[in-house]
Structure 1
Amino acid sequence: MKVLITGATGFIGTALCSYLIKNNHSVHYLVTDAADIKDKENYKGFLWNPEKNEIDLNSLDQVDAIVNLAGHTINCAWTEENKNQIHNSRINCSNTLFNALQTNEHQVKSIVNASAIGIYQSSETAVYNENSSDFGTDFLAEVCKDWEAANLRFEGLVIKTAITRFGLILSKDHGVLHELAKVVSKGLGANLGNGKQWMSWVHFNDVIEIIYQLLKDRQSGIFNVVAPNAVKQNEFLKLLAAQLNKPLWLPNIPEFVIKFGLGKRSALVLSSQHVQSIKLPEIGYQFRFTELSSTLKDLYK
């Protein structure tokens, strides 16, 4: 199988490229800067400019499937300019791929597109699965809704289309766990807000293997990429502090303080989504990591 990957230089994309090559597949990847092209065996880069709807069509040569992970980071100040970048970068990437496939001959049969559980309404009591339609109205939810709408159009090109709503992807070196661990390791960990927010998480290795299975089996539809057992924030931090052998003694940081410091970006730490996946078990995927305590032990072993 030959796979075209966008966002290949991000931490998920980098690991996915390595995984595919290790399993005897070939990778084409798209970048916006020629300096990022570092080709090797079964790994070849091409230029594109989604803002201008430009793409090197050679990137589609003999490609069987696409993984679309590209988008501006949400871990930045949410100025109006950055919010436009977060939204438009995702839509532009999807549009550029769609236009290229719509107007040129190709052999692409399936595509896996990123999304996030931030599409669901924040709630401390609701439990969501792939059939839920209680979507939020905040910035992140609107981004996800527009992103998914842009990606679902690939079905109209007779391309099997999977939407992966990622939970909190746990990696020792990247993402939310990396940021929390930096604080907790200094003995400065504290619950954010009331600490009762649900954190629907997934081990980094499960994410890579899920994407691979969706590609290999040419699956279509919505998939919540979350481990079976979500935890509340206070439990998450307690387990992380125990794993790092650090105390968790500071009082909760009040919600108004967080909102004052982060503004609307406070949604990243205050929102609560208890999410389950019913679709992944249906297609036969078995999670390697189902409990947070054993997951943290694996990551920090």
Structure 2
Amino acid sequence: MKIVIAGGSGFIGGKLVDLLVKNGHEVIILTRSKKTPSKNVSYILWLQEGAVPENELHKVDAFINLAGVSINDGRWTPKHQQQIYNSRMTATDELVRIISAMEVKPSVLINASAIGIYPASYNTVFTEKSAEIASDFLAQTVKDWELKANHVTQFGVRTVFTRFGVVLGREGGALPLMALPYKLFVGGKVGGGKQWVSWVHVEDVVRAIYFALQNDQLQGPVNVTAPTPVTMEEFGKMIGSVLKRPHWLPVPSFAMKLALGRKSKLVLEGQHVLPKVLMANEFIFNFPELKLALEDLL
């Protein structure tokens, strides 16, 4: 397959490119700066003055959109929130424009998304069929992001919204920050501890994206979370167990709000999310249990 990726050099994008190349696919990465091509990976300028990517894209099979400012970096000041929002809207608008201008359309667009679209809850279990949508910043961003990406369906393009959970990896995602207190022997319960963490190993994230590329029956929302969410209290205890560190020093909610500002919602609130679509289509998780994932990553 010939696959175009926006956001191909990020935490998830880099690992996805490696997987696609390993499996013999041709990858084209949309970039804002010139880069040197390598085996099976080339680069095309976009979102720059004079850039017309569609003129260089021929017989493309699929688009994958991972572009956007990371939600894990920095405090959520109003300015940073605007950057998170605008980066996703701008990139998705441009991808829709590119696809609309292409004479031969791709068969599929895989668009990144997030389980933050679901409301925080201690008791509700959310699946792809859940209609409830939260009203906060992240949920509104996800909702608008998916609505923009969905415009390509008018061109007959199958569209999949991969709603990522809390992605765990060594060099990115949420885990390095969550594990740091334990490495310093000051780990403990965060907030009330009963909030849900619908986590997923980054390796399973990229495998799920690849799975969605290959399975024509997948469309619309697809929750990309491990099938075994845990509470924040359980998550912390497991980090301590794997690292052989104590789980003893509680971090009260007000301290998290002081430290992280509005972003504290990511750790103080959570959703119990299940990947029903992946499970129904017999996707096999390499890391279905948290202990397995943390032992691999820590």
TM-score, normalised with respect to structure 2: 0.95
CA contact (8 A) 1:225 1:277 kept: yes
Which residue type is aligned with residue 86 of structure 1? Answer: I
Query: Which residue of the partner structure matches residue 4 of structure 2?
Result: 4
Instruction: Give the deviation of 1:54 after TM superposition.
Output: 4.9
Where 1:49 maps in the other structure, the secondary structure is coil
Query: Which residue of the partner structure matches residue 229 of structure 1?
Result: 228
Aligned with residue 204 of structure 1, among 198, 202, 205: 202
Separation of aligned partners in 2, 1:58 and 1:248: 56
Unaligned runs of 5+ in 2: none
Aligned residues: 296
Which residue type is aligned with residue 139 of structure 1? Answer: F
Over 3 Å counting, the alpha-carbon distance change for 1:127 and 1:55 in structure 2 is farther
Which residue type is aligned with residue 6 of structure 1? Answer: A
Give CA deviations for 1:74-101 in whole Å, capped at 9, x if unaligned. 1222222211111011011111010111
Instruction: Give the deviation of 1:104 after TM superposition.
Output: 2.8
CA contact (8 A) 1:5 1:27 kept: yes
Query: Which residue of the partner structure matches residue 186 of structure 2?
Result: 188
Moved more, 12-21 or 71-80: 71-80
Query: Which residue of the partner structure matches residue 277 of structure 2?
Result: 279
Instruction: Give the deviation of 1:299 after TM superposition.
Output: 2.3
Separation of aligned partners in 2, 1:104 and 1:223: 26
1:61 aligns with 2:46: no
* Identity among equivalent pairs (%): 39
Instruction: Give the deviation of 1:67 after TM superposition.
Output: 0.7
Over 3 Å counting, the alpha-carbon distance change for 1:118 and 1:59 in structure 2 is farther
Which residue type is aligned with residue 224 of structure 1? Answer: N
1:70 aligns with 2:67: yes
Where 1:175 maps in the other structure, the secondary structure is coil
CA contact (8 A) 1:30 1:59 kept: no
Separation of aligned partners in 2, 1:133 and 1:196: 23
Instruction: Give the deviation of 1:43 after TM superposition.
Output: 0.3
Separation of aligned partners in 1, 2:148 and 2:193: 35
Aligned with residue 171 of structure 2, among 170, 173, 179: 173
Separation of aligned partners in 1, 2:140 and 2:190: 24
Over 3 Å counting, the alpha-carbon distance change for 1:54 and 1:94 in structure 2 is farther
Separation of aligned partners in 1, 2:106 and 2:57: 8
TM-score, normalised with respect to structure 1: 0.94
Where 2:111 maps in the other structure, the secondary structure is strand
Where 2:46 maps in the other structure, the secondary structure is strand
Query: Which residue of the partner structure matches residue 88 of structure 1?
Result: 86
Aligned with residue 39 of structure 1, among 30, 37, 40: 37
Over 3 Å counting, the alpha-carbon distance change for 1:293 and 1:61 in structure 2 is same
Instruction: Give the deviation of 1:164 after TM superposition.
Output: 0.4
Alignment of 1:5-154 (within 5 A): 5-34=5-34, 37-49=35-47, 54-74=51-71, 75-154=73-152
Over 3 Å counting, the alpha-carbon distance change for 1:53 and 1:133 in structure 2 is farther
Instruction: Give the deviation of 1:53 after TM superposition.
Output: 9.8
Separation of aligned partners in 1, 2:55 and 2:296: 40
CA contact (8 A) 2:54 2:101 kept: no
CA contact (8 A) 1:55 1:96 kept: no
Instruction: Give the deviation of 1:260 after TM superposition.
Output: 2.8
CA contact (8 A) 2:191 2:268 kept: yes
Instruction: Give the deviation of 1:55 after TM superposition.
Output: 4.2
Separation of aligned partners in 2, 1:84 and 1:283: 36
Unaligned runs of 5+ in 1: none
Query: Which residue of the partner structure matches residue 268 of structure 1?
Result: 266
Separation of aligned partners in 1, 2:51 and 2:96: 12
RMSD: 1.6
